[in-house]
Amino acid sequence: MRKRMPKAESTPLPQKREKGTRPAEAGARWASRILLYLEGKDPRLLDKETYKVYRKISGTGARLQGPIPLPVKPLSDSSSTPEADRLHRRLFCILFPTEQTVSLLEKLSFSEAVQTSISVEEIPVGGDT
């Protein structure tokens, strides 16, 4: 007769997530969307500031879309060179921000040549965008 081997404890197979559901750690996230606009006359300086913001926000665990370059706005009240008569804009869309993301946005500092505006929108229940 053969000797019986003890049953090895089997590990359960990973469960397949349904499409559109969030992982368990998403409970600490907010069901809102934050739109961060950056504006400046110098596109190179604006891109440097945009890169800094991207690096900082992407490390907080929030879902980030952007930077999205928006159309250039002409400024009519200025009498300087045509290059300085334009306002360059970038947009970040921060989905499901964490507490860390919100505290980071409160502490962000930019150069004087870059203006910012922040707006918060509620995301409808069951929506992802």
Confirm whether 94 is domain-assigned. yes
Average pLDDT score over residue span 99-109? 88
pLDDT cut 70: percent of the chain above it = 65
Indicate the number of domains in the chain.
1
Cross-strand bridge partners of residue 39: 89, 115
48-85 pLDDT, tens per residue?
Answer: 999 999 999 888 888 888 899 999 988 876 555 665 68
Is the entire prediction scored with pTM above 0.85?
no
* Four-residue CA torsion sign, 43, 45, 48, 49: negative
Question: How far is the C-alpha of 122 from the C-alpha of 30, rounded, in Å?
Answer: 9
Q: What CATH number has the domain bearing residue 105?
A: 3.30.70.600
